[in-house]
Amino acid sequence: MTTQAPVWFISGSTAGFGLALVHCALRHGLRVVATGRHLTTRDVGLTPGDRLLLLDLDVSEPAQIQAAVGAALAHFGRIDVLVNNAGYGYQSSVEEGDDDAIRQQFEVNCFGLFALTRAVLPHLRAQRAGHIVNVTSVAGFIGSPGMGYYAASKHAVEGWSDALAAEVRPLGIHVTCVAPGPFRTDWAGRSLAVTPSAIADYRDTAAARMALTAQRAGHQDGDPEKAVEAIVQAVQSAQPPHHLLLGGTSVSLVKQRLERSLAEIEQWRGVSEATDFTD
């Protein structure tokens, strides 16, 4: 009797990390359900076969989620790894954020991710095994000028993932949050919405950050191919991490942020603890 390769269900497979991860998973001999909006063989550069299923999926559409999960189970009989990669960035100053743009980003980055996970969880529970990978960002730890709403969506996924991990760990299910820093993908050109800042007071903060993002496009330090190899390595590890930082920039910025937080907690520890009842 032969053991079949695990099945990876990957959202947002039309470009960037998602597309690179599809190719990487296939190289590792895994079976893959590649999903994305209006996904075609031209998008992935691969032909569906015994180890690859292509499905159209907009995670902000509940009916499409149910249909895609059902099709994946009908084709492969199981899902072992869910990679919640679908999402996009949004830049604006906090004050100038567009309400419709903000809500749409949360529909995809948060509510779509939540809904897809809920659709897959019953099958992982039944197996008493599985892995959920949530692609967040260094913005899930650090809010930067011009990135407030994007950071808010990623912070939300980080907190939700902490709760999810505590609930499913006793069931044999792992949860890993992948937090990339700047990588050389087409994120800034294809996966970033922008509301330009017109308020002079934000010229040196939000507006400057938006300009820097555009300038750095195509020159980031991160290598997407190495990143997706790291994701596969983490999932296949006997002790997978709950947080996987990708890129030297992400490691440096997150460490600095956590160190500042710990120092501030200690500085204000007396005041904080003094708020307890004394009896």
Q: Which residue has the higher pLDDT, 216 or 129?
A: 129
Q: Which residue from 7, 2, 22 is spatially nearest to 80, judged by alpha carbons?
A: 7
Query: Among 203-207, 213-217, 231-235, which is the least confidently predicted range?
Result: 213-217
For residue range 154-192, what is the model confidence (pLDDT) as tens digits? 999 999 999 999 999 999 999 999 999 877 777 665 678
Q: Please give the average per-residue pLDDT across 119-126, as a whole number.
A: 98
Q: Could you identify the residue written with the tokens 């949050």?
A: 177
Q: Please give the average per-residue pLDDT across 90-117, as a whole number.
A: 97
Read off the amino acid at residue 167: E
In the three-class reduction of DSSP (H, G, I as helix; E, B as strand; rest coil), residue 244 is classed as strand
The C-alpha atoms of residue 20 and residue 14 are separated, in whole angstroms, by 9
The reported pLDDT for the residue numbered 189 is: 58
150: annotated active-site residue: yes
CATH architecture of 7-273: 3-Layer(aba) Sandwich (3.40)
Question: Does the pLDDT of residue 145 top 90, yes or no?
Answer: yes
The reported pLDDT for the residue numbered 192 is: 87
Question: Does the pLDDT of residue 2 top 60, yes or no?
Answer: no
pTM above 0.85, yes or no: yes
The reported pLDDT for the residue numbered 248 is: 92
The reported pLDDT for the residue numbered 188 is: 60
Q: Please give the average per-residue pLDDT across 10-35, as a whole number.
A: 94
Host H or E run for residue 207: helix 206-216
Question: Does the pLDDT of residue 149 top 60, yes or no?
Answer: yes
**Domain chopping of the chain, boundaries:** 7-273
The reported pLDDT for the residue numbered 1 is: 35
Choosing from 88, 90, 149, 150, the catalytic residue is 150
CA-to-CA separations, 258 to 148, 149, 160, 251, 254, in angstroms, rounded:
19, 21, 19, 11, 6
